[in-house]
Amino acid sequence: MKRAVGYVRVSTEDQAREGVSLDNQREKIKAYCMLKDLVMVEIIEDAGISAKNLKRPGMQRVLDLAKRKEIDAVIVYKLDRMFRSTIDALDTTRKFDKHGIEFHSLQESLDTGSAMGRFFFTLTAAIAEMERGIISERTTAAFQHMKAKGQKTGGDVPFGYDVDVDGRLTENHGEQEIIAIVRELRGTGHTLKSICSELSTRGYKPRRGTTTWFPMTIQRILKAA
């Protein structure tokens, strides 16, 4: 019987998404191996790690087992659990082929043990990357639209602004006054450190509730202004 290793992965975002939990992936892979008469040697995991490249502890172990020819098949629940790039997918499965190792992906019903299976694997990997690219483009366009409308798109609220109930940025008049002073002092040759001292002397306080201004804070204000 063929020796198989399972590979499971979740990123931080995936952990809250139904159907891709580590336990779910393990159970699906175990059931598949029983159905296909494959001997499950080990299930290797990468928890809370993105698949943007192959530099993952679990992934590297799979590649090491393959290189040492200690397995005959690699099983994943879904193609994107192991690969995000078509190039990575094709290069890695070519190495598997070189060592006589099959690659199976349950969700896409992929099995590289045949010529037809390898063809569909190549096609599916390319389509999956294209779909991720389309989603990325749509997300970028949505963020740009929100910015154009003055809506906050994540991260800290910029100094000089507040966020209203609709998620729009509105000017904080007190902080806008500080920005104007900072720009004026910088324009007259004051150093970042001297600007900190001047603000403290005038009684202005940083947003975080401390009484101390730091040059790095002033630098961020100038950069965003």
| Residue 133 and residue 168 in one domain | no
| pLDDT, position 16 | 45
Which residues touch 10 (CB under 8 Å, ≥6 apart)? 20, 21, 22, 25, 47, 48
Q: Which of 105, 137, 169 is the last residue of a domain?
A: 137
Q: What is the DSSP string of 23-56?
A: HHHHHHHHHHHHHTTEEEEEEEEEET---SSS--
| Residue 132 and residue 194 in one domain | no
Distance (Å, rounded) from C-alpha 100 to C-alpha 97? 5
| pLDDT, position 38 | 95
Residue 153 domain-assigned (yes or no): no
Q: What is the DSSP string of 105-142?
A: ETTTTEETTSHHHHHHHHHHHHHHHHHHHHHHHHHHHH
**Under 8 Å between Cβ of 174 and 199:** no
- The mean pLDDT value of the chain amounts to 81
Q: What is the pLDDT averaged over residues 136-141? A: 59
Q: Which of 104, 121, 137 is the last residue of a domain?
A: 137
CATH number at residue 22: 3.40.50.1390
| Residue 132 and residue 203 in one domain | no
Which residues touch 80 (CB under 8 Å, ≥6 apart)? 51, 128, 132
| Residue 113 and residue 196 in one domain | no
Distance (Å, rounded) from C-alpha 14 to C-alpha 196? 44
pLDDT digits (tens, 9 = 90+) for 14-54: 554 545 788 899 999 999 999 999 999 999 999 888 777 88
pLDDT digits (tens, 9 = 90+) for 74-88: 999 988 898 877 788
| Residue 85 and residue 180 in one domain | no
pLDDT digits (tens, 9 = 90+) for 204-213: 888 866 678 8
Residue 144 domain-assigned (yes or no): no
| Residue 68 and residue 174 in one domain | no
Residue 22 domain-assigned (yes or no): yes
| Residue 166 and residue 210 in one domain | yes
| Residue 68 and residue 169 in one domain | no
* Cα 90-96-100 angle, rounded to 5 deg: 140
pLDDT digits (tens, 9 = 90+) for 86-122: 788 888 888 898 889 999 999 888 888 776 667 666 6
| Residue 24 and residue 92 in one domain | yes
**Under 8 Å between Cβ of 112 and 98:** no
Overall domain count for the chain = 2
| pLDDT, position 31 | 95
Examine the residue annotation and report whether 11 is marked as an active-site residue of this protein: yes
pLDDT at 137 over 90: no
| Residue 129 and residue 194 in one domain | no
Share above pLDDT 70 across residues of the chain, in percent, rounded to a whole number: 73
**Domain boundaries, position 212:** 161-224
